[in-house]
Every structure is written in C-alpha cells, then in structure tokens.
Amino acid sequence: MYTIDFNCPIHIHFIGIGGISMSGLARILLDRGFTVSGSDSTSSDLTNEFSRVGCHISYPQSASNITNDIDLVVYTAAIHPDNPELQAAVSANIPTITRAELLGQIMSNYKIALNIAGTHGKTTTTSMVTEILLAANADPTISVGGILNSIGGNIRVGKSDIFVTEACEYTNSFLSFNPTINIILNVKADHLDFFKDIDDIRHSFKLFTEKLPQNGTLIINSDIDDYSYFYKDTKCEVITFGSNPEKSNYSATNIAYDEYGCCSYTLMYNNDALTEIKLSVPGLHNVYNSLSAIAAARKLSVDLDAIKEGLASFTGTNRRFEKKGEFNGITVIDDYAHHPDEITATLKSAAHYPHNNVWTVFQPHTYSRTKSLLKEFAQALSLSDKIVLAKIYPARETDDLGISSATLQEQIKALGKECYYYESFEDIEKFLLKNCINGDLLITMGAGDVYKIGESLLKHQL
C-alpha cells in the first residue's frame, strides 16, 4: 500500500469527492497543504465548496480526469473496478488507495485517535463527543458522517493531537484504521450483502478491537451479547456502559422524558452518582449513546461541567430525528433510520413527542437488507400508527432478489397495521395531503432520498 509522507504534500485526486466522508478527508489534506482534485456524478453543496476554494472538480467521472500531474488516487468501496477513472489510474501506474486506508494513515498523525463504531448511532455519538470536546476547548479534528451545525459541516480541522471519527464496518473498512480509543455502540446484523451472517460481523468487530495497542482503550456497550468476546484476546483497557449497572462502569438512573421526548438522568459511575445529565435530543437510545461519549470524554480528562454543557448544547445532526417544519398543523420529522433497530428507536422516541397519529413514510434501503431483515422491518414499523412505503432505494445494488416494498407491505398488514404502498413520491404526497390531519406527526424515514417528500409537503399550506 502506498504510504503518504504528510511532510511532503502531493496532488491527490478523489473519485467521488462529494461523499460525506471523502469530502471531509479532502478538507483535512487541503488544510495540510496538499493539492486536491476530484470528481463526482453531479455537483452538490460539498463539491461546490471545493470549487470555491480553487480545487478542480470534474463531472461526471471520466478517464480524462486522470491527468499526469496526479500523484495518488483515492476511491471508496462504492467504486467498482471498471470505473473509468480507477482504470485510467491503474493504466498510468498512479498509486491508488481506498478511503479507509487514507483515513487510517491520517489518524496515525494524531496521539489520540478515537474511533466510534456500531451498527447504528455512530453519527450521533460522534457529534456528542464533538460538542463535549468543543465545550472543553480541546480543539479536536473531527470527521462526522452528517452535517453538524456547530462545526459548519461534516469536518473540523483542529490544532490539538485529538482526532475523532466514525468507524464503519462495511467492507471491513475500519480494519484499515489505526485507533487508540475505540467505542463499540452495538453489533447487529446488517450489510449482509457483504457479511455472511452475524457471526461474521462479530468477528469483524473483534478484529477492529484487536487494532488497539496494548495501551489503548475499548469503550463497549455491556448490553451486547457476550461482549467480552470482543476483547478477551487483547490487553487494552476496557470501559463498559449500558443499562445494567452491575455490568457497566457508566450507567443511568432516574431517566425522565420532557415534553419533546428528550431525556434527563442521573449519571452513575461504578454505582456512584456523579451528576445530572440533560439531553437535547429525543429517545432512550440517546441516553446510551451519551454514556459512551461521557466515558470517552472522561478518558480524555474532560471535566463534568464541560460534558454537561456539550451534551445539553447538542440538538442533533441532519437526518437524525430532524424537525423539518410544519404544514397544516402537521409536524414533519426526517430520520435516517434504515435498520429495524434504528426504526424501533426512532418510533419509540416519537411516542414521547406531541402527536395525534404517527405516520411513517419508509423507503427501504437496498434489496439485500430488505430481504434479509424483512420480518424485523415489519415488526419495527408496526410501532407506527400508519405506514406508507416507497419503492426500495437500490443504492449500490441492481438485482431486486425477488423483493419489493409490496412484500414488506404484506408482512406489515399481516400484523394488523394500516399500511399503504405507492411507487412514486408524487402519489405518496397526494395521499398524505388527503389523509394527514392537524396534530399528526409525519416521519420520513430511510437512507435514500425519501426526505424529499417531507420537503415537498412543507410547501403546502391551507
């Protein structure tokens, strides 16, 4: 693998520079004096920002974008071997590395590299850690998988020796990283287009833990089945958090909800009460996300006052129970949930939010995930009063595997729930305009472009 000398900036080209993670890494390299160019299928706010600062960005991806002044090409797992730019780079003998390999090399430049992993909750927890470190004036470098208003985007380049990032398990990306502190939030069945089964996924997380040095630290959710499996062959420090105070260094008691479903609780450390914590994001799942963030912050010697201030100031990232607005007395929320556990957490949060009926407009994400977790999706969505399904968002997939949203609709209706399926966003919007009433809560949900439905509906007022 090509190794970057960060003391000798070169010209690096990013295939798919508009991606949330790729754009963040490109920004870090720009700040270090590297020449950055890139390409993507279409322009976006992220790519336009690079153009504004003088980077050459090309649309669409083409072999002609690979010029002889490029020293290194970076690509993501979504880029296929037949990609014209990747093929052109290989033909020209230009070194290539993956996004994950680049991220691993970047974090090697920091004394503290905090990686936040888990099937879900990564973006929220990374954002919580960010807010805490900002409140503590720790000046970290941050790479987060969403837009966080307090840092003005998805990346923050700091001057300290602290680097914080999400760590994704898909295609074993996080095994290219060089962490000093790992957080494991949860380990669930997902990405079964890559992993064979849950045991394969657990093995990947175990290898991720084994990337830690002997003086490293693992912060792990003690609610995970057989959680000691992940660290039993390591010598790193282990800190636990979770719902059971007997198994957890960090736990919460006296959990209460406010009128919008945001929790407050008594923070416990080894069964001793430390302080009261108030969150500004809804849902019980965020109590446990915050416990992991607190554990990391205290490991970094952040005081409790800064921890409390940071958590209280965190009101969420985009597409995580994000209030988009209201139309005709109907509140529109958008959420990125695309796994049954995430859907369950979101809908349990909605139960504590002001509402008459909860409408969930769900866009399944990938055929493989929908097929492998069909019954689990139906059970999770049944927590909503009424469900409307959009077509499956294929993302990187082309084969429908004999599955469609109509299949999921049958499963939901078999549970006795009111469920509708429309193939076009336009038909969904017409149905909702006719059937949602004043006081209803409407949640657009999924990892695709389902958010466009809510944004369109907000343009309608009686």
**What three-state secondary structure class fits 404?**
coil
Query: Residue 442 CA to chain centroid, in angstroms?
Result: 22
Q: Is-catalytic flag, 122?
A: yes
Q: What is the rounded CA–CA span in Å between residue 110 and residue 195?
A: 31
Q: Is-catalytic flag, 166?
A: yes
Q: What is the rounded CA–CA span in Å between residue 205 and residue 305?
A: 33
Please list, in sequence order, all residues whose beta carbon lies within 8 angstroms of the beta carbon of residue 16, skipping any fewer than 6 positions away.
22, 38, 39, 40, 61, 75, 76, 78, 79
CA neighbor of 362 nearest in space, from 250, 424, 446: 446
222-140-52 Cα angle (round to 5):
125
Q: Catalytic residue among 119, 122, 131, 180, which?
A: 122
Q: What is the rounded CA–CA span in Å between residue 180 and residue 163?
A: 10
- Tell me which H or E stretch contains 426: helix 425-435
User: Rounded to the nearest 5°, which phi and psi values hold at 91?
Assistant: -65, -35
Residues 366, 394: contact at Cβ < 8 Å? yes
Q: Catalytic residue among 85, 166, 322, 342, which?
A: 166
Query: Distance of CA 115 to CAs 143, 189, 284, 446, Å?
Result: 10, 20, 23, 24
CA neighbor of 61 nearest in space, from 89, 42, 80, 77: 42
**What three-state secondary structure class fits 185?**
coil
**Both tokens assigned to 156:** 């923050």
Cite the active site residues: 122-123, 166
